[in-house]
Amino acid sequence: MLKQYFENLYTGSQPEFFKRASLAMDQEEKLFVVTANPETMMIGVQDQDLDAVLCKPSTVIVPDGIGVVKGAQSLGIETQGRVTGVELAAHLIRHAGETNRSIYLYGAKEEVLQALVSRIQREHPGAVIAGCRNGYGQDDDEVFEEILRLKPDVILVALGIPRQELLIDRWLPRFSKGIFVGVGGSFDVLSGSKKRAPQFFVRCNLEWLYRIMKEPKRFGRFYRSNLRFFREVKQLKRLGR
């Protein structure tokens, strides 16, 4: 479980991972990225299906949350910092625009989705919007049937954990190419519907604090998942991983 997640964890820098993702897009490879925070890993520990996804060697887990970085470092795993889902998605959109690649967007509210489509078309006119569906009232398999038919280069799925990861994993074997990323609530930020934390919070790895300040109801869930995560990490360390 948790031990395997850390073994699958990407430990390089964010710029290096962006280069890797760009190359995979250019060479029409297949890549499945899970952007993980402590809550992601704790859901995996409790959810057998997500656990199976996170334990697959082909699943690339990147440390979205600073808690994952700190947990890895406490186990003696050298990491070069976070690879955030929102910045990864922004990079993929930008690279698609520069290379005339196609993007499929699935998730979020309709108004958020349309705002994101408009922003991509305005700021990255070279990117082709192969298709888009909001995350409400959709048949997931029907949507992925459409994605399979359209064969886009980038597939961003914003349905929340673990739904987005389980859906991607279930359909992944049918695809021959595509960069698949579960991006959670990133469409809100990418569309401009919600502001990301100010750069001070980002630089100091305090985005979690900013989100709690803006949405206090997040605190309980954040506290419980992080407390359990670091207990599990401490136990792993005691057992010598």
Whether the model clears a pTM of 0.75, i.e. scores above it, the answer is yes
* Cα atoms found within 13 Å of the Cα of residue 226, Cβ hemisphere only: 15
User: Which tokens sit at 62?
Assistant: 């990147």
Q: What would the CATH number be for the domain defined by 2-238? A: 3.40.50.2300
Q: 27: exposed, middle or buried (C-beta count within 10 Å: 0-12, 13-18, 19+)?
A: exposed
User: Which tokens sit at 13?
Assistant: 């820098």
pLDDT at 182 over 80: yes
Percent helix / strand / coil, the chain, rounded to 5? 55, 15, 30
Q: What per-residue confidence (pLDDT) applies to 132?
A: 98
Alpha-carbon gap, residue 217 to 220, rounded angstroms: 7
pLDDT digits (tens, 9 = 90+) for 68-115: 999 999 999 999 999 999 999 999 999 999 999 999 999 999 999 999
User: Which tokens sit at 102?
Assistant: 């196609």
* Closest listed residue to residue 61, CA positions, set 39, 42, 41, 89: 41
Per-residue pLDDT band at 21 (split at 50, 70, 90)? very high
Q: Which residue reads 């809550």 in tokens?
A: 39
Are 102 and 123 spatial neighbours (Cβ–Cβ below 8 Å)? no
Q: What per-residue confidence (pLDDT) applies to 86?
A: 96
Per-residue pLDDT band at 199 (split at 50, 70, 90)? confident
How do the domains of the chain map onto residue ranges? Answer: 2-238
Q: 214: exposed, middle or buried (C-beta count within 10 Å: 0-12, 13-18, 19+)?
A: exposed
Lowest mean pLDDT among 87-91, 159-163, 172-176, 217-221: 217-221
Core vs surface per residue 161-198: b (16+ CB within 10 A) or e: bbebbbbbbebbeebeebbbbbbbbbbbbbbebeebbe
